Chains A and B, each alone.
Chain A
Amino acid sequence: MHTPLLQMTGITKRFPGVKALSNVDFRLFPGEVHALMGENGAGKSTLIKVLTGVYSIDEGTVRIDDRTVTIAGPLEAQKAGISTVYQEVNLCPNLTVAENVFIGREPRRFGRIQWKKMNEDAKQLLKERLNLSIDVTLPLHAYSVAIQQLIAIARALSISAKVLILDEPTSSLDQNEVQQLFGIMRKLKSDGLAILFVTHFLDQVYEMSDRITVLRNGELEGEYMAAELPRIELVLKMIGKDLKLLEELPKLSEEAGEAAGTMMINASALGRKGAIKPFDLEIRKGEVVGLAGLLGSGRTEIARLLFGVDRPDEGKLLVADSGSTVKSPRNAIDLGIAFCSENRKTEGIIDDLTVRENIILALQATKGWSRPLSRKKQDEIAEQYIKMLNINPPNPEHLIKNLSGGNQQKVLLARWLLTEPDLLILDEPTRGIDIGAKAEIQKLVLSLAKQGMSVLFISSEMEEVIRVSDRVAVLRDRMKVKELSSSEINQKEIMQAMAGG
């Protein structure tokens, strides 16, 4: 067997309070596509950032072509032959295509940039290596994301890259564009390039990659040949389970009479291009519906559509009681829907405000500015929820930004429970929360359902989805692939649907 082009050994990276990577090995061979897989917090993006010099390495070595290298920045990574194409194209939309390929290395004569030569070079490069004939003098923003990505690849190639990192390149491409990209990846592979491919789409992993490295919780789970690793095994390794040990979990939820509740919300053929393919989903009153699927499978996208954060391109969404559809988050809240986002930092907490203020925010927004909750009432509410959800430190006047992630999550939960919604959408409500609190939240969900609240429960942890849900919808690759009613719910069934193929 030939020698690896890139060899990372014993990589460790610490952030204040967390060990993002511990003792991870990774290697890349020339002429292969190597998929890097892992769930949230597995350390994929940290590993890539370490490799591209965005982060420093605390321990471990990187060897390229059998030489130890230190990569202290994006520029040095490029010089070492490592180039990255990110999901959000990291080029300058205002510059021309040719410039984006060559900026920083423009052909010059006596310090003067030779535009003609640059344009011709760019045109030739795109034509020869990517089979792409476009006007290179137009600004980048004139082209679709798919083309922009190809241009980013062209830039990488022009720097004579040996290692090409594609970080979720397909997330916002349609089927044809994906195939175009894959064609180019195959071509580059046969040219001897080593490609590191990160994606959430399992189908694409198996279509393209020769080798798979799985990370979990910042540690190396293993390196496998793609052909020798069944899909289901891959999924199990990503979420850290053994198929043999999977057994029936005691269900917390009681067998609710299936037709007991009336309709709460009904989505029919609802879809949004690039986010989620059209799906049907109905949630009844007092029912807990779980969404299972790997990271990036379209779980959050469904939640955002139901809450009116994003607008659907097609299909219908009906809220039963009012018979109307959801137009905006404000509108959704008025219709009795609440959405606890998985992105606590950007979409959840208000940094500068206290725990108390964060809790009452949604309720106050509903009441309007002129009918403020009295301070006494606010204190009572804060007190009550801090006790109920065991928020720590139990001080309502603490700034929320100083709380731990788990406690921030509880505050957000409190914010939405306070609005007494008919439908509560929980996106990863237990991530980063200790085990005791997890069980509490699960119990809470069930008791809320018993009182007649509908819950859409999204989680990467299958046990908890199974434990709380009356019904589970399984997603794979931005598509709803299966729906299991209460008697059919079991881990194997879900896992199989998640892995597909």
Chain B
Amino acid sequence: MGGKLYRHHLFWPVTVLGALLLFNLIYSPDFFSLVIRGGNLYGSLIDILNFGAPLILVSIGMTLVIATGGIDLSVGSIVAISGAMACLTISKGTDQSSFLLVIGAVGASIILSVVLGMWNGALVTITRIQPIIATLILMVAGRGIAQLITSGQIITVSNSNYEYIGAGSLAALPFSIFIVAAALLIASLLTRRTAIGLFIESVGSNPEASRLAGLRSKTVILTVYIFCGLCAGVAGLILSSNVSSADGNNAGLWYELDAILAVVIGGTSLNGGRFYLMGTVIGALIIQTLTTTIYMIGVPPEITLVVKAFVVLAVCLIQSEAFRKTLITRWKKRNYPAEQEVTRHA
């Protein structure tokens, strides 16, 4: 039984998250304490969930993209564009506090992010450009587009309805948590209750065999990029609503990297195939907890980067077959480097 637990795909992510939380508990005993103030729950744990919400969302979309063997570098830019679009729409409205205006703003942002996702998907499927290169285009241009929308300014809005998305509360909890929960639920239902999950894993694991089994892999890949764009768009809404402003330059900066990291920590291989949505969520929580922890112990927050560097490397080394083999055989095959290379093809 113990051995089985050890092998479960969530074992390592959960352990790391647990260890992080435990460290925090020891360091600051009131870490787990929750206070009710003004009918809302407050506490470090809530903060982690609340601040981590956009990253979790983006990571969920990224998980599916990576599962098909792709990658989406443009999510950070889409986050910025979406926030900018929403804030621009609201700031242009005549009645700033109107509810309908918020609906329009959110709609415009979501449509725009879906279009951007479609653009990525089309580049990958129709022109058959490698995903990393295809999405690089929007990664570069997207920041410019976001600044174009905001005219290089930070657009500040004051609309209580809009603020609710990222800063409001529902049942004593931040509303953003519910958005994330809903997205996770939708993604899980779509991938596990319909055949989409099977198709994604199949295309990511062996594209040629999938084609011969009659899968329409292009449709699958296109859908996944659109979904990823949508997730990034919603994340952008949460982020901009939380601070009631849109910053084309800095919103969602490094999100693509953090999201990829969350996916990898969650156990999904960058080579595509099997994916683990729950693993990704825990991965994103680990990143957020790490940031919170580092803030708390008073080290400059930028040090997080160093820790992340080692986490990325450690996770990838564990996933690397060559590394594991090295540990086991200790360069036994050193004289025949081509052998491993060619055995794969034999």
| Residues of chain A having any CB pair with chain B under 8 Å | 15, 45-46, 49, 53-56, 72-74, 307, 309, 329-330, 332-333, 339, 341, 346-353, 357, 360-362, 364-373, 415
> B205 interface residue, CB < 8 Å from A?
yes
Contact B195 A350 (CB under 8 A): no
Contact B338 A54 (CB under 8 A): yes
Residues of B within 8 A of A415 (CB): 213
CB distance from A500 to the nearest CB of B (A): 30
CB distance from A478 to the nearest CB of B (A): 22
Residues of A within 8 A of B333 (CB): 56
CA distance A357 to B215 in the complex (A): 14
Given contacts A352-B205, A353-B201, contact A361 B213 (CB under 8 A): yes
Q: A53-B336, A370-B195 are in contact. List 15 more A-B contacts (CB 8 A).
A: A15-B343, A46-B346, A54-B342, A56-B333, A73-B337, A74-B338, A330-B216, A339-B212, A347-B212, A353-B198, A361-B198, A365-B214, A366-B214, A372-B194, A372-B198
CA distance A351 to B216 in the complex (A): 19
Contact A330 B194 (CB under 8 A): no
Given contacts A49-B342, A73-B337, A352-B274, contact A362 B213 (CB under 8 A): yes
Residues of B within 8 A of A349 (CB): 206, 209
CA distance A357 to B339 in the complex (A): 32
Pick the residue among B205, B216, B220, B338 that contacts A350 (CB under 8 A): B205
CB distance from B217 to the nearest CB of A (A): 10
Residues of A within 8 A of B220 (CB): 369
CB distance from A487 to the nearest CB of B (A): 36
Given contacts A49-B342, A350-B206, A369-B199, contact A341 B335 (CB under 8 A): no
Contact A45 B209 (CB under 8 A): no
Contact A346 B209 (CB under 8 A): yes
Contact A72 B336 (CB under 8 A): yes
Residues of A within 8 A of B212 (CB): 307, 309, 329, 339, 341, 347-348
Contact B215 A365 (CB under 8 A): yes
Given contacts A56-B336, A369-B196, A372-B193, contact A350 B214 (CB under 8 A): no
In the complex formed, the residue of A with least CB distance to B204 is A352
> B208 interface residue, CB < 8 Å from A?
yes
Contact B206 A365 (CB under 8 A): no
CA distance A54 to B344 in the complex (A): 12
Residues of A within 8 A of B211 (CB): 329
| Residues of chain B having any CB pair with chain A under 8 Å | 193-196, 198-199, 201-202, 204-206, 208-216, 220, 273-274, 333, 335-339, 342-343, 346
Contact A346 B206 (CB under 8 A): yes
Between A and B, how many residue pairs show CB distances below 8 Å? Answer: 102
Contact A73 B335 (CB under 8 A): yes
CB distance from A228 to the nearest CB of B (A): 33
CB distance from A167 to the nearest CB of B (A): 13
Residues of A within 8 A of B343 (CB): 15
Interface centre among B333, B336, B342 (most CB of A within 10 A): B336
Pick the residue among B194, B215, B216 that contacts A370 (CB under 8 A): B194
Contact B336 A54 (CB under 8 A): yes
Residues of A within 8 A of B338 (CB): 53-54, 73-74
Contact A352 B201 (CB under 8 A): yes
Residues of B within 8 A of A352 (CB): 201, 204-205, 273-274
CB distance from A107 to the nearest CB of B (A): 27
Interface centre among A55, A361, A366, A370 (most CB of B within 10 A): A361
List 10 tightest A-B contacts by C-beta distance, closest first.
Answer: A352-B273, A352-B205, A333-B214, A365-B214, A372-B195, A369-B195, A362-B213, A352-B274, A54-B338, A72-B335
In the complex formed, the residue of A with least CB distance to B223 is A369
28 contacts between A and B (CB under 8 A): A49-B342, A55-B342, A72-B335, A73-B335, A73-B336, A74-B338, A309-B212, A329-B211, A330-B214, A330-B216, A346-B206, A347-B208, A348-B209, A348-B212, A350-B202, A350-B206, A350-B210, A352-B201, A352-B273, A353-B205, A357-B198, A361-B202, A362-B213, A366-B214, A369-B194, A369-B196, A372-B194, A415-B213
